[in-house]
A = this chain, B = another copy of it.
Amino acid sequence: MGRPKTPLLSLARMASAALDIVDTDGLDGLSMRRLATVLGVQVASLYNHVRNKDELLHEIGNQIMSQVDVTGFRDGDWREGIATWARSYRAALRAHPNMVPFLATGPGRRETALQRANAVHGGLVASGWPPRQATLIGASTKYLVVGAAMTSFGRGFDDDVQVYVDRYPHLGQAHKLRAHADEIDDEAFELALLSFLDGLERRFTELREAR
């Protein structure tokens, strides 16, 4: 067949179609052959635009991560900065639950991720946190977001939701279950985030008083 007049494929088109498949049929649902079929093309052609399946997934990951907002540190309010970062981070993951296992497992070498980490670190230091503490806080916050994403919309129902439902069987109507899970999930994340921030605030004032 040879080279077509206008290219049939592009990295962007591939990533977009692949993400569609992952969103609807899960990470396991994505195979190179299936992606090729969707794009109306043969498998081998894909490898003209991508070295690996892994590279394709990383491309998708970059797109998703670009939604994360680290502008909250602008006016030197570290509390606000962390909060908007954490919430937008979580929202980005929630938008594509099936990608969470890959995003969480993936190496920290993702370009965009490193850039965000840098912004967060800089923002914290600018607000008065010592560099070392800034690093720790950045890591801790990420733990929270990734953990929340993994255990809740990473897969089916949560143990804790299950326990809650078991103890309140009158809530057990199947059609309400999902809604309650989401509600509990949101509240648990907010509780964790705000409690964590309160704890940090206490440490922050202690640190300022010490000098």
- Residues in A lying within 8 Å of B, measured CB to CB: 101, 104-110, 113-114, 116-118, 121, 131-133, 135-148, 150-152, 154-164, 166-168, 184-185, 187-189, 191-192, 194-200, 202-203
Contact = CB atoms under 8 A, between A and B. Distances in A.
Given A143-B192, A150-B150, A195-B200, A184 B136 contact: yes
Contacts of A117: 159-160, 162-163
Contact of A105 (B138, B145, B154, B199): B154
Given A136-B188, A140-B189, A148-B147, A159 B195 contact: no
Contacts of A138: 160, 163
Contacts of A116: 159
Nearest to A100: B105
Contacts of A101: 101, 104-105
**Which of A108, A154, A167, A187 has the most CB atoms of chain B within a 10 A radius of its CB?**
A108
